[in-house]
Structure 1
Amino acid sequence: MLALAACAFVLLPDSASADKMRPGYKSYQRQGLNANTNCRRPHFNICQGCNIVIPMRVAQDRSCGFNFQTLGPFAGQDVLVSPASGSYSLVNSTTAVYRPSAGFTGRDHFESRLYFEDGSGKRTFLVLKVNVNVVPSL
Protein backbone atom coordinates (compact mmCIF):
# COMPACT_ATOMS: atom_id res chain seq x y z
CA MET A 1 0.00 0.00 0.00
CA LEU A 2 1.78 3.19 -1.15
CA ALA A 3 -0.01 5.32 1.43
CA LEU A 4 2.05 3.62 4.15
CA ALA A 5 4.80 6.21 3.81
CA ALA A 6 2.26 8.99 4.27
CA CYS A 7 0.60 7.18 7.19
CA ALA A 8 -2.79 7.00 5.50
CA PHE A 9 -4.84 3.85 5.84
CA VAL A 10 -8.07 2.81 4.18
CA LEU A 11 -9.92 0.02 5.95
CA LEU A 12 -11.08 -2.81 3.75
CA PRO A 13 -12.13 -6.33 4.77
CA ASP A 14 -9.11 -8.62 4.88
CA SER A 15 -7.74 -11.64 6.69
CA ALA A 16 -6.77 -11.58 10.37
CA SER A 17 -3.09 -11.60 9.42
CA ALA A 18 -3.48 -8.04 8.12
CA ASP A 19 -3.72 -6.78 11.73
CA LYS A 20 0.04 -7.11 12.14
CA MET A 21 0.85 -5.67 8.73
CA ARG A 22 -1.24 -2.49 8.77
CA PRO A 23 -1.12 -0.30 11.88
CA GLY A 24 -4.50 1.18 12.60
CA TYR A 25 -6.30 -1.72 10.96
CA LYS A 26 -8.34 -4.36 12.73
CA SER A 27 -9.84 -7.15 10.69
CA TYR A 28 -13.61 -7.36 10.94
CA GLN A 29 -14.25 -10.11 8.42
CA ARG A 30 -15.05 -12.78 11.00
CA GLN A 31 -16.54 -10.49 13.64
CA GLY A 32 -19.02 -8.65 11.44
CA LEU A 33 -18.96 -4.88 11.29
CA ASN A 34 -20.87 -4.42 14.53
CA ALA A 35 -24.15 -5.47 16.05
CA ASN A 36 -25.65 -1.98 16.11
CA THR A 37 -28.93 -1.85 14.17
CA ASN A 38 -28.53 1.90 13.56
CA CYS A 39 -25.18 1.81 11.77
CA ARG A 40 -22.35 -0.26 10.34
CA ARG A 41 -18.66 0.62 10.56
CA PRO A 42 -15.39 -1.31 10.87
CA HIS A 43 -13.38 -1.54 14.07
CA PHE A 44 -9.97 0.15 14.13
CA ASN A 45 -6.88 0.30 16.34
CA ILE A 46 -4.60 3.11 17.50
CA CYS A 47 -1.66 3.96 15.24
CA GLN A 48 0.51 6.84 16.34
CA GLY A 49 0.24 9.95 14.19
CA CYS A 50 -1.53 8.25 11.28
CA ASN A 51 -4.74 8.86 9.36
CA ILE A 52 -7.44 6.19 9.50
CA VAL A 53 -10.17 6.40 6.87
CA ILE A 54 -13.28 4.33 7.52
CA PRO A 55 -16.65 3.94 5.81
CA MET A 56 -19.80 4.13 7.93
CA ARG A 57 -23.43 3.44 6.99
CA VAL A 58 -26.09 5.01 9.19
CA ALA A 59 -29.84 4.51 9.03
CA GLN A 60 -31.80 7.70 8.32
CA ASP A 61 -32.82 9.60 11.48
CA ARG A 62 -30.59 7.32 13.62
CA SER A 63 -27.20 7.87 15.23
CA CYS A 64 -23.91 5.99 15.31
CA GLY A 65 -21.65 5.98 18.34
CA PHE A 66 -17.95 5.43 18.99
CA ASN A 67 -16.55 4.22 22.33
CA PHE A 68 -12.92 5.36 22.23
CA GLN A 69 -12.07 3.97 25.66
CA THR A 70 -11.99 0.47 24.13
CA LEU A 71 -8.93 1.57 22.09
CA GLY A 72 -6.85 2.57 25.13
CA PRO A 73 -6.54 5.46 27.57
CA PHE A 74 -8.56 8.08 25.67
CA ALA A 75 -7.46 11.66 26.34
CA GLY A 76 -9.91 13.70 24.23
CA GLN A 77 -10.41 14.86 20.68
CA ASP A 78 -10.48 17.87 18.39
CA VAL A 79 -13.07 17.92 15.60
CA LEU A 80 -11.13 18.94 12.48
CA VAL A 81 -13.97 18.78 9.93
CA SER A 82 -17.59 18.87 11.04
CA PRO A 83 -20.19 16.94 9.05
CA ALA A 84 -22.07 19.07 6.53
CA SER A 85 -25.39 17.25 6.95
CA GLY A 86 -25.40 16.24 10.59
CA SER A 87 -23.52 16.58 13.86
CA TYR A 88 -20.59 14.83 15.51
CA SER A 89 -19.76 15.42 19.16
CA LEU A 90 -18.69 13.86 22.45
CA VAL A 91 -21.51 12.40 24.52
CA ASN A 92 -19.26 11.95 27.57
CA SER A 93 -15.51 11.76 28.21
CA THR A 94 -15.00 8.58 26.12
CA THR A 95 -17.98 8.31 23.74
CA ALA A 96 -18.84 10.31 20.62
CA VAL A 97 -21.83 10.13 18.30
CA TYR A 98 -22.66 11.07 14.70
CA ARG A 99 -26.26 12.13 14.00
CA PRO A 100 -27.45 12.93 10.47
CA SER A 101 -29.77 15.89 10.01
CA ALA A 102 -33.48 14.99 10.24
CA GLY A 103 -34.71 13.39 7.02
CA PHE A 104 -31.26 13.46 5.37
CA THR A 105 -30.05 10.60 3.17
CA GLY A 106 -26.82 10.69 1.20
CA ARG A 107 -23.11 11.17 1.76
CA ASP A 108 -21.47 13.04 4.62
CA HIS A 109 -17.95 13.25 6.06
CA PHE A 110 -16.24 14.28 9.27
CA GLU A 111 -12.73 14.19 10.73
CA SER A 112 -11.46 14.19 14.29
CA ARG A 113 -8.02 14.07 15.93
CA LEU A 114 -8.19 11.51 18.75
CA TYR A 115 -5.70 11.71 21.63
CA PHE A 116 -4.51 8.77 23.72
CA GLU A 117 -1.91 8.41 26.49
CA ASP A 118 0.60 5.59 26.62
CA GLY A 119 1.72 3.93 29.87
CA SER A 120 4.30 6.66 30.58
CA GLY A 121 1.73 9.45 30.24
CA LYS A 122 3.02 10.50 26.81
CA ARG A 123 0.22 11.67 24.52
CA THR A 124 -0.21 10.27 21.03
CA PHE A 125 -2.89 10.90 18.43
CA LEU A 126 -4.47 9.63 15.26
CA VAL A 127 -6.74 11.36 12.76
CA LEU A 128 -10.03 9.55 12.15
CA LYS A 129 -11.65 10.36 8.80
CA VAL A 130 -15.16 8.98 8.43
CA ASN A 131 -17.00 8.74 5.11
CA VAL A 132 -20.69 8.42 5.99
CA ASN A 133 -23.48 7.06 3.84
CA VAL A 134 -26.90 7.77 5.38
CA VAL A 135 -29.45 5.31 3.98
CA PRO A 136 -33.23 4.88 4.49
CA SER A 137 -32.66 1.60 6.38
CA LEU A 138 -29.93 -0.97 6.99
Structure 2
Amino acid sequence: MVRFRVEEKLREVDPEVSLAYWDYSMDYYLPLPSDSVIWSSCFAGNGDGIVREGPFRFMYGGFNDLIRRDIARNGTCPPRLINKDDIDQLMRFCYYAVGFWHVILSLTHLCHSGLSHSSKLDHFISKIRDDWYIYFYI
Protein backbone atom coordinates (compact mmCIF):
# COMPACT_ATOMS: atom_id res chain seq x y z
CA MET A 1 0.00 0.00 0.00
CA VAL A 2 2.83 2.39 0.81
CA ARG A 3 4.46 1.66 -2.55
CA PHE A 4 1.21 2.60 -4.32
CA ARG A 5 0.99 5.91 -2.48
CA VAL A 6 4.62 6.74 -3.23
CA GLU A 7 4.06 5.92 -6.90
CA GLU A 8 0.98 8.16 -7.03
CA LYS A 9 2.94 11.07 -5.52
CA LEU A 10 5.75 10.54 -8.03
CA ARG A 11 3.22 10.57 -10.88
CA GLU A 12 2.02 14.00 -9.77
CA VAL A 13 5.49 15.22 -10.76
CA ASP A 14 6.01 12.95 -13.76
CA PRO A 15 3.04 10.90 -15.09
CA GLU A 16 5.46 8.51 -16.85
CA VAL A 17 7.00 7.24 -13.59
CA SER A 18 6.18 3.77 -12.36
CA LEU A 19 7.68 1.57 -9.67
CA ALA A 20 8.65 -1.98 -10.49
CA TYR A 21 6.77 -4.75 -8.78
CA TRP A 22 7.21 -8.47 -8.64
CA ASP A 23 4.28 -10.74 -9.46
CA TYR A 24 5.40 -13.62 -7.26
CA SER A 25 2.35 -15.65 -8.33
CA MET A 26 4.27 -16.37 -11.55
CA ASP A 27 6.90 -18.22 -9.52
CA TYR A 28 4.27 -20.76 -8.49
CA TYR A 29 4.77 -22.45 -11.86
CA LEU A 30 8.55 -22.77 -11.59
CA PRO A 31 10.07 -26.07 -10.46
CA LEU A 32 12.28 -24.05 -8.09
CA PRO A 33 11.31 -20.52 -7.04
CA SER A 34 15.02 -19.71 -6.86
CA ASP A 35 14.98 -19.89 -10.69
CA SER A 36 12.82 -16.75 -10.85
CA VAL A 37 14.13 -13.87 -12.97
CA ILE A 38 13.83 -11.66 -9.89
CA TRP A 39 16.86 -13.47 -8.41
CA SER A 40 19.01 -12.76 -11.48
CA SER A 41 21.91 -10.32 -11.49
CA CYS A 42 19.69 -7.78 -13.30
CA PHE A 43 17.30 -7.48 -10.37
CA ALA A 44 17.68 -8.60 -6.74
CA GLY A 45 20.66 -10.91 -7.22
CA ASN A 46 21.08 -14.60 -6.52
CA GLY A 47 18.80 -16.34 -4.05
CA ASP A 48 21.11 -19.04 -2.81
CA GLY A 49 23.66 -18.29 -0.13
CA ILE A 50 25.58 -15.02 0.13
CA VAL A 51 24.24 -12.49 -2.39
CA ARG A 52 27.05 -12.31 -4.97
CA GLU A 53 25.15 -10.77 -7.92
CA GLY A 54 23.01 -7.75 -8.65
CA PRO A 55 22.69 -4.41 -6.87
CA PHE A 56 22.72 -5.97 -3.38
CA ARG A 57 25.91 -7.98 -3.88
CA PHE A 58 28.25 -8.12 -0.92
CA MET A 59 26.07 -5.80 1.18
CA TYR A 60 26.00 -6.24 4.91
CA GLY A 61 22.64 -7.07 6.47
CA GLY A 62 23.40 -6.63 10.14
CA PHE A 63 25.55 -8.33 12.74
CA ASN A 64 28.46 -7.57 10.38
CA ASP A 65 27.34 -10.45 8.13
CA LEU A 66 26.80 -10.36 4.39
CA ILE A 67 23.20 -10.69 3.20
CA ARG A 68 22.33 -14.36 2.73
CA ARG A 69 19.27 -15.83 1.02
CA ASP A 70 17.98 -19.39 1.10
CA ILE A 71 15.17 -19.47 -1.44
CA ALA A 72 13.37 -22.80 -1.61
CA ARG A 73 15.82 -24.45 0.74
CA ASN A 74 16.29 -28.11 -0.19
CA GLY A 75 14.20 -27.52 -3.32
CA THR A 76 10.92 -27.24 -1.44
CA CYS A 77 8.60 -24.37 -0.80
CA PRO A 78 6.24 -25.08 2.10
CA PRO A 79 3.42 -25.52 1.37
CA ARG A 80 3.15 -23.50 -1.87
CA LEU A 81 3.14 -19.98 -3.28
CA ILE A 82 0.00 -18.08 -4.13
CA ASN A 83 -1.04 -18.51 -7.78
CA LYS A 84 -3.42 -16.80 -10.21
CA ASP A 85 -6.32 -19.11 -9.28
CA ASP A 86 -5.87 -18.17 -5.61
CA ILE A 87 -6.06 -14.48 -6.53
CA ASP A 88 -9.20 -15.02 -8.62
CA GLN A 89 -10.82 -16.90 -5.75
CA LEU A 90 -9.91 -14.13 -3.30
CA MET A 91 -11.37 -11.49 -5.59
CA ARG A 92 -14.77 -13.24 -5.48
CA PHE A 93 -15.17 -12.45 -1.77
CA CYS A 94 -17.01 -9.32 -0.68
CA TYR A 95 -14.80 -8.81 2.35
CA TYR A 96 -11.49 -10.02 3.71
CA ALA A 97 -10.81 -11.23 7.21
CA VAL A 98 -8.35 -9.14 9.16
CA GLY A 99 -4.89 -10.58 8.70
CA PHE A 100 -5.88 -12.84 5.81
CA TRP A 101 -3.36 -11.36 3.38
CA HIS A 102 -0.69 -11.81 6.02
CA VAL A 103 -1.36 -15.56 5.97
CA ILE A 104 -1.01 -15.71 2.18
CA LEU A 105 2.11 -13.54 2.17
CA SER A 106 3.61 -15.65 4.94
CA LEU A 107 3.63 -18.63 2.59
CA THR A 108 5.64 -16.62 0.09
CA HIS A 109 7.93 -15.31 2.80
CA LEU A 110 8.61 -18.77 4.16
CA CYS A 111 9.59 -19.94 0.72
CA HIS A 112 11.83 -17.03 -0.15
CA SER A 113 13.49 -16.59 3.19
CA GLY A 114 13.95 -20.27 3.88
CA LEU A 115 12.58 -19.73 7.36
CA SER A 116 10.43 -21.98 9.41
CA HIS A 117 8.98 -21.35 12.84
CA SER A 118 11.90 -23.26 14.34
CA SER A 119 14.55 -21.10 12.64
CA LYS A 120 17.02 -19.05 14.61
CA LEU A 121 16.04 -15.46 15.30
CA ASP A 122 19.41 -14.13 14.12
CA HIS A 123 18.79 -15.74 10.71
CA PHE A 124 15.45 -13.90 10.51
CA ILE A 125 16.96 -10.57 11.58
CA SER A 126 19.57 -10.95 8.84
CA LYS A 127 16.72 -11.41 6.33
CA ILE A 128 14.84 -8.29 7.34
CA ARG A 129 17.95 -6.18 6.78
CA ASP A 130 18.07 -7.31 3.15
CA ASP A 131 16.87 -4.37 1.02
CA TRP A 132 14.87 -6.76 -1.14
CA TYR A 133 12.93 -8.00 1.88
CA ILE A 134 12.07 -4.41 2.78
CA TYR A 135 10.97 -3.65 -0.80
CA PHE A 136 8.75 -6.73 -0.86
CA TYR A 137 6.90 -5.73 2.31
CA ILE A 138 6.45 -2.00 1.66
TM-score (norm 2): 0.28
Which of the pair is proportionally richer in strand?
1
**Higher-Rg member (1/2):** 2
